[in-house]
């Protein structure tokens, strides 16, 4: 019962400080930080138009600022990561919610997870077809059910029981994703029939966020449509606690890339484990995971990660990764390519 | 291409040795070991009849011997754990396959995972209703799809595409599980309506196995119906790689208990991580996990675990756990209660 009370006092104090200073909020006892990603993959200048790049940057900026605004008014890291993910579930250019990639049968099957490093507590959904904001349903699973992961029709039954309005499958489908599926199927058909479905699509637009709030609490959230042309029923790393999403009291991670590799190597938790057990700094643990352990198995992708002191990492072994960071020290950066731009 | 060849040579050598000795096989370069569990929970003498105890012991013994026979003839740890799990999917007294517990809607939703520590490779299925042996479908996901986890109807579509014959939902349902569901619903109705569904059933009969073969390869497998009265679509820890099932080159773990706790704490992988990063012996890592870390969050259950040297652990913080071990040093034990019997 004491946390909401404490939070509102801190919030009041922060607001008062802002009024007095007439300036960006001063660093609280804990720095506040949000880090986001919007997918890793073949993101290169050669494949990008100026309009498209500007549009991606605007989408990333809107998510970053939505999440940071929550932290700035004393809100929780959990609310901040949910806000930063939700804006991009509604933005058709990212592979989550509306505009998600299509499975082999031409529909969107959506996965999402959210985790509160305090507890820890976690909620996730997999394979939902009719939920506008899967990240909000993941939050309901955490807050209102005894379970961590609900999938498919059962997850949608639970959504209905919680008063969530379902939307038709057509809401999610965009012409660009239809074209991408056709292209993926053509490529698959041209390969030998025994070749597994291609798991290395041109761009992977999974969205994620990690945040540290003024109370020093960490949270992580991730949402995705998975991988174009995936088999019906495929669950990737995003909703798997430990693989694509993890938060503890000392570390929060959200991943993007070839989900199957993240699952076999328990990527998000492994970063936290290396920090806790080997006392590695965050950046070193992330570097080892992405450029050594994941690369060694042939896995491609990246992660964003954050520790309780506000140190963060945005690292990837793919050509690029949509990413951004904003913190109470006045830093605000958005980048897409290898070269920090 | 060289592994099957090497394996058959080793197998031949072992068979020749057995013929010459007319006795149990001598320890190979690597010891061979299989460890199984058949669920943790309120397993106490006071709640057990002599007939029921004998029947459980017979079921555990059959599984142990089926898995050990595979290892003894030079088979892989992967084949051994699959065999040890399959016998109990077919045995209605365990909570896996036929005789699995019922969800809130009165049907069986089955989860299973298998992992080969070499690679590593993994396959899992969740929420299947019509697959007689979910562990075999998990193996097909690993061997024949590019994915790690398939759920629900999509998993069954994949099963059909692989020539698996589906069975009616009624195949899985036993009168005892119907009674258990009625009892769980009565208990839930007597609690305050806002209380989450009870997650601490009387017995949890998830089945699992870990094995070490003559080539020194580890594998793990787990299969379950989950928890009585679970929400439709609930996925527990069993098919989540890292939570209820994990295998690497140096460690294999299968868990049983309150799945949600295992998921939030990434139990199976965390044991392997403590061994790798903190250089803890297997038994110490398992002890810390079960009696300290899991207990601290209120989580109840147990694990079986095995390292590459053939050291094993069967530990639990519940009243009892169905368990057994057999190895090439001539050890063969089956136990259910706290006191190693």
Mean pLDDT of chain B: 89
Q: Kindly report the number of other CB atoms within 10 A of residue B15's CB atom.
A: 14
Task: Using pLDDT thresholds of 50, 70 and 90, give the confidence band for residue B270.
Answer: very high
pLDDT of residue A10: 45
Beta-carbon separation of A233 and B260 below 8 A: no
pLDDT of residue A40: 87
Q: What is the ipTM of this complex?
A: 0.89
| Chains A–B, number of C-beta pairs less than 8 Å apart | 157
pLDDT of residue B42: 73
pLDDT of residue B8: 46
Q: Kindly report the number of other CB atoms within 10 A of residue B279's CB atom.
A: 10
Q: Which of B159, B264, B274, B285 is the best substitution to test chain A (most A C-beta atoms within 10 A)?
A: B264
> Using a CB-CB distance cutoff of 8 angstroms, which residues of chain B are in contact with residue A261?
none
- The CA distances from residue A152 to A51, A156, A157, B78, B227, in Å, are 36, 7, 9, 30, 18
Minimal C-alpha gap between A244 and chain B (Å): 12
Beta-carbon separation of A126 and B151 below 8 A: yes
> Using a CB-CB distance cutoff of 8 angstroms, which residues of chain B are in contact with residue A161?
none
Give the percent of chain A with pLDDT over 70.
87
Q: Kindly report the number of other CB atoms within 10 A of residue A9's CB atom.
A: 11
Buried-exposed string B98-108: b where 16+ CB fall within 10 A, e elsewhere: bbbbbbbeebb
pLDDT along chain A (341 residues), means of 10: 42 46 51 95 80 93 98 98 98 95 95 97 98 98 97 96 96 95 88 50 79 98 95 96 98 96 98 98 98 95 97 95 97 91 73
| Beta carbons of A40 and A321 less than 8 angstroms apart | yes
Give residue-wise pLDDT tens across range A228-271: 999 999 999 999 999 999 999 999 999 999 999 999 999 999 99
pTM exceeds 0.80? yes
Q: What residues of B act catalytically?
A: 206
Task: Choose among A155, A157, A234: nearest Cβ to B150.
Answer: A234
Give the percent of chain A with pLDDT over 90.
79
- Distance, in Å, from the CA atom of A278 to the CA atom of B220, rounded to the nearest integer, reads 26
> Using a CB-CB distance cutoff of 8 angstroms, which residues of chain B are in contact with residue A156?
233
CA-nearest residue of chain A to B122? A264
Q: Kindly list the structural domains of chain B, giving each domain's residue range(s) and its CATH number in brackets, ordered by start.
A: 33-337 (3.60.20.30)
Minimal C-alpha gap between B59 and chain A (Å): 30
A234-235/A218-224 β-pairing = unpaired
pLDDT of residue B91: 95
Adjacency order of strands within the sheet including A245-247: A245-247, A251-257, A301-307, A312-316
Give residue-wise pLDDT tens across range A37-47: 998 877 777 77
Give residue-wise pLDDT tens across range B200-244: 455 568 999 999 999 999 999 999 999 999 999 999 999 999 999
DSSP state at residue B177: H
Give residue-wise pLDDT tens across range B59-97: 999 999 999 999 999 999 999 999 999 999 999 999 999
* DSSP per position, A184-225: HHHHHHHS-TTSPPP---SB---EEEEEE-TTS-EEEEEEE-
CA-nearest residue of chain B to A268? B266
Buried-exposed string A137-174: b where 16+ CB fall within 10 A, e elsewhere: bbbbbbeebbbbbbbbbbbbbbbeeeebeeeeeeebbb
In degrees to the nearest 10, what's the CA dihedral of B3, B9, B10, B13? Answer: 180
CA-nearest residue of chain B to A230? B147
Give residue-wise pLDDT tens across range B253-268: 999 999 999 999 999 9
CA-nearest residue of chain B to A156? B233
| Beta carbons of B181 and B41 less than 8 angstroms apart | no
């Amino acid at each position: 019962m004491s946390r909401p009370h404490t939070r509102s006092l801190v919030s009041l104090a922060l607001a008062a400080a802002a009024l007095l200073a007439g300036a960006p909020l001063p660093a609280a006892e804990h720095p506040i930080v949000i880090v986001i990603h919007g997918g890793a993959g073949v993101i290169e200048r050669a494949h990008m138009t100026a309009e498209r790049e500007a549009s991606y940057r605007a989408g990333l900026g809107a998510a970053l600022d939505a999440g940071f605004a929550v932290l700035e008014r004393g809100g929780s890291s959990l609310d901040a990561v949910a806000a930063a993910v939700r804006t991009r579930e509604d933005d058709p250019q990212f592979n989550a919610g509306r505009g998600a990639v299509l499975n082999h049968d031409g529909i969107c099957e959506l996965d999402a997870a959210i985790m509160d490093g305090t507890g820890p507590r976690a909620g996730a959904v997999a394979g939902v077809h009719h939920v506008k904001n899967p990240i909000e349903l993941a939050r309901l699973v955490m807050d209102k059910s005894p379970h961590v992961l609900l999938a498919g029709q059962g997850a949608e039954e639970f959504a209905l029981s919680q008063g969530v309005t379902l939307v038709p499958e057509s809401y999610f489908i965009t012409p660009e994703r239809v074209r991408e599926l056709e292209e993926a199927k053509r490529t698959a058909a041209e390969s030998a029939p025994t070749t597994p479905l291609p798991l290395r699509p041109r761009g992977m637009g999974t969205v994620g966020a990690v945040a540290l709030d003024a109370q020093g609490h960490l949270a992580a959230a991730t949402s995705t449509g998975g991988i174009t042309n995936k088999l019906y029923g495929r669950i990737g790393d995003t909703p798997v606690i430990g693989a694509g999403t993890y938060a503890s009291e000392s570390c929060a991670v959200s991943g993007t890339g070839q989900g199957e590799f993240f699952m076999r190597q328990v990527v998000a938790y492994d970063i936290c484990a290396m920090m806790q057990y080997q006392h590695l700094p965050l950046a070193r643990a992330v570097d080892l995971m992405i450029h050594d352990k994941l690369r060694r198995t042939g896995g491609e992708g990246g992660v964003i990660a954050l520790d309780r002191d506000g140190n963060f990492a945005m690292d990837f072994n793919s050509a690029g990764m949509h990413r951004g960071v904003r913190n109470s020290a006045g830093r605000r950066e958005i980048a897409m390519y290898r070269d920090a731009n």
